[in-house]
Every structure is written in structure tokens, then in C-alpha cells.
């Protein structure tokens, strides 16, 4: 199978490079790429199709604007990503997802947000007001979800996820990220994607708190599972930023979403630092991606959210971060802001 992966990597790299050199080639490639990718998605049980989709994560050719919605919908349906009922209904109503309905959505294990509090929140007043950091409130979607009790309720499902399921999740999140890089999708579908990745990241702190002895797997099997789960979180963090990048940065709703994203990413980064898995390369890569996300969130709206970041790092629990992590975040943010 490694030969197939090498072939697809080289082939797709050639296609992408050739398309960049000629506008006509770009148009031709975009005309058939969507259909090819869709057929690969529909053959979910095919090993060759899975290899092809993994190769697409490295080199994703251009697609037509009309391909975006149907590819995202097909990914969620065929790869049985756990989604809310509202997402399922929307996907079911898209013509291109009808043929995928034989593979039902995995909604049985989906737990909708409760009425508890989440990781962190922030409020700000731009005209002479103040910014305050309030623990246990999540402004990511304007609702109050999850607290220290709530984050524990899905530990069993987190532990029971097989490596194959986790690999599917990572693949789907990566591919959706590439699709968003190429075309715009329906705002309502984009919102549902944001909800999915938000809930992934909300479970991260609880996941990283699970003690080694509490896992059924041990040794290399456990390490492999932890590595792939951390990769899922990394893909989720990157996708979260992409779902917010298209928002109108001047709107009040956009401000609340970015505030919530910043709070969520900071809490996730702290969870990495306190985790027993912090020395794993996968955890270090995840931490780096979270820092990039924090810097991107901080410089939105003309850098207004940098004030929030400064105030957060005055908290006693995170003051030690000033020696390294905090300075790195600020440096990256300032460079981007300039």
C-alpha cells in the first residue's frame, strides 16, 4: 500500500503544480477534481480510496465552487462523523448526499451541549471599558456549555473510540479544511462544522487528564491511540480557525465567536502543558498549532483581542508561561499584526 501512497502523492503534487502554471489547466483540473474526490469519499471501505484521500491531505487540487457543499456533506455522511440532528437534517436535504444515506450518521453517541458552563469567557468594552476574564463561560457560540462536571460525561466514549474511528475523524477534518481553502461553502453548513470542531476541542482537557492506568490499552497500543487522538485535536484546531476566517470581523457576533475561540484555544494549550503526554511529539505539534491559532485569533479586529490575551496571562496559574510560551505567542501575533 505504501507504493500507492507514494504514487498518489507524486501524482497530485504534479497536478497541483501544473495547475498553478496555467489558468486553462487550473480550470480543467477544477472541472473534474470534485467528481473524483466525491467518488473516493463514497467508497469508504476501499483501501485504495482511503489512501487517495490521505494523499489529498498533502496536495489538494482546485475544485469548482459548486463542489464545496456536496463534498463536505458526503464526508460527514460516509465517514459517520457524530453530528447534531440539525446537521444531519441539513446534510440529508442536499441532493449530492442522497446516495450516501445508506451509511447512516452516527448520531446515537452525540451528546448535545448541556446548560453547564464551559472553559472560559471574555467580555470587552472598546470605548473606555474594561476587559474581564471570567472562568467557566464559553462564548464560542454565545451559549453556555460544559463545565468541570460536563467535561467528564463523555470520557467513556472518548476512551472507547477505536484507532480507525480516530483516523477517520482526522482525515475528514483535514479534507474539510482543504475544501475551505479552495471554495466557500454554505454559511449554515460552515456553522455546523464550527460546532463540531468546537466540541472536539472542548473534550480535549478532559481527555488529557485521563490517567495512564485508566486506559484499557497499555504500552505501544496506548501510545498509538494517544498520538492519533492528539492529531485529531490538531486538525480540529486548524479547522476551527478556518471556519471563523470568513466571518465579518466588524460584526458583534464575529467578535463573540473570536473571543470564544481565543479562550478555547488558550485553555487547550494549557491542557497540553499540564498533560502527562506533553513530551510526545504529537503533543508538541498540537501545542504549536494551538499557538498559531491563538496568534491568529489575537490579531483579528485590529489586534483588539491582544488585550484579552495579556489579561489572561496575569492569572497566577499561567504566569509561568511568560517565560516562553507567552512571549512566543505575542511575537507571532505582533508579526502577523504588522
CB 77 within 8 A of CB 107: no
Distances (CA, A) of 119 to 37, 246, 260: 37, 25, 9
Confidence (pLDDT) at 49: 93
**pLDDT class for 215, splitting at 50, 70, 90?**
confident
* SS3 of the chain: helix, strand, coil, percent, to 5: 70, 0, 30
Q: Are 196 and 238 in contact (CB under 8 A)?
A: no
97: three-class secondary structure by DSSP: helix
Dist. CA 297–CA 141, nearest whole Å: 15
pLDDT score, position 141? 41
Quickly state the pLDDT bin for 232 (edges 50, 70, 90): very high
Backbone CA torsion sign across 55, 61, 64, 65? positive
| DSSP H or E stretch at residue 120 | strand 120-123
Give the SS3 label for residue 215.
Answer: coil
Integer Cα distance of 269 and 275 in angstroms: 10
pLDDT band of 103, cuts 50, 70, 90: very low
CA 277 distance to own-chain centroid: 20
Q: Where do we find the cell 467535561?
A: 151
Q: Does residue 211 surpass a pLDDT of 50?
A: yes
Helix, strand, or coil (residue 324): coil
Enclosing H/E stretch for 121: strand 120-123
Each as own residue / partner, the long-range contacts of residues 269-276 (CB below 8 Å, 24 or more positions apart, any chain) are 269/294, 269/325, 270/317, 270/318, 270/321, 271/204, 271/205, 271/208, 271/209, 272/208, 273/321, 273/325, 274/208, 275/208, 275/209, 276/208, 276/211, 276/212
- The larger pLDDT score, comparing residue 107 to residue 231, is at 231
Could you give the count of Cα atoms lying within 13 Å of 285 in the half-sphere of its Cβ? 13
Position 303 scores a pLDDT of 59
Q: Cell triple for residue 22?
A: 496555467
Contacts of 197 (CB under 8 A, 6+ apart): 173, 236, 237, 239, 240, 243
Query: Residue 132: helix, strand or coil by DSSP?
Result: strand
Q: Rounded distance, CA 70 to CA 276, Å?
A: 40
**For the CA atoms of the chain, what is the radius of gyration?**
20
pLDDT higher than threshold 50 for residue 106:
no
Kindly tell me if the per-residue pLDDT of 36 is higher than 80: yes
Amino acid at each position: 500500500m505504501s507504493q500507492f501512497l507514494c504514487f498518489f502523492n507524486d501524482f497530485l503534487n504534479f497536478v497541483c503544480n501544473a495547475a498553478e502554471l496555467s489558468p486553462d489547466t487550473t480550470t480543467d483540473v477544477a472541472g473534474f477534481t470534485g467528481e473524483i474526490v466525491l467518488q473516493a469519499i463514497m467508497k469508504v471501505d476501499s483501501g485504495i480510496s482511503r489512501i487517495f484521500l490521505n494523499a489529498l491531505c498533502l496536495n489538494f487540487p482546485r475544485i469548482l465552487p459548486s463542489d464545496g457543499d456536496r463534498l463536505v456533506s458526503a464526508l460527514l455522511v460516509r465517514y459517520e462523523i457524530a453530528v447534531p440532528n440539525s446537521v444531519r437534517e441539513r446534510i440529508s436535504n442536499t441532493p449530492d448526499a442522497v446516495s450516501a444515506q445508506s451509511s447512516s450518521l452516527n448520531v446515537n453517541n452525540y451528546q448535545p451541549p448541556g446548560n453547564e458552563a464551559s472553559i472560559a469567557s471574555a467580555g470587552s468594552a472598546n470605548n473606555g471599558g474594561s476587559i474581564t476574564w471570567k472562568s467557566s463561560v464559553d462564548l464560542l457560540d454565545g451559549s453556555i456549555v460544559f463545565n468541570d462536571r460536563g467535561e467528564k460525561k463523555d470520557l467513556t466514549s472518548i476512551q472507547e473510540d477505536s484507532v480507525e474511528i480516530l483516523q477517520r475523524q482526522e482525515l475528514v477534518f483535514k479534507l474539510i479544511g482543504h475544501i475551505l481553502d479552495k471554495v466557500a461553502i454554505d454559511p449554515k453548513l460552515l456553522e455546523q462544522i464550527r460546532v463540531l470542531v468546537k466540541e472536539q476541542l472542548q473534550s480535549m482537557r478532559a481527555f488529557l487528564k485521563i490517567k495512564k492506568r485508566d486506559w484499557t490499552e497499555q504500552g505501544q497500543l496506548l501510545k498509538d491511540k494517544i498520538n492519533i487522538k492528539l492529531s485529531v485535536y490538531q486538525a480540529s484546531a486548524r479547522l476551527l480557525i478556518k471556519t471563523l476566517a470568513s466571518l465579518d470581523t466588524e460584526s458583534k457576533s464575529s467578535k463573540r465567536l473570536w473571543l470564544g475561540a481565543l479562550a478555547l484555544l488558550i485553555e487547550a494549550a494549557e491542557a497540553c502543558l499540564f498533560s502527562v503526554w506533553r513530551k510526545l511529539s504529537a503533543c508538541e505539534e498540537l501545542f504549536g498549532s494551538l499557538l498559531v491559532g491563538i496568534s491568529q485569533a489575537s490579531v483579528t479586529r485590529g489586534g483588539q483581542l491582544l488585550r484579552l490575551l495579556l489579561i489572561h496571562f496575569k492569572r497566577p496559574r499561567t504566569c509561568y508561561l511568560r517565560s516562553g510560551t507567552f512571549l512566543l505567542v505575542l511575537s507571532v501575533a505582533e508579526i502577523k499584526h504588522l
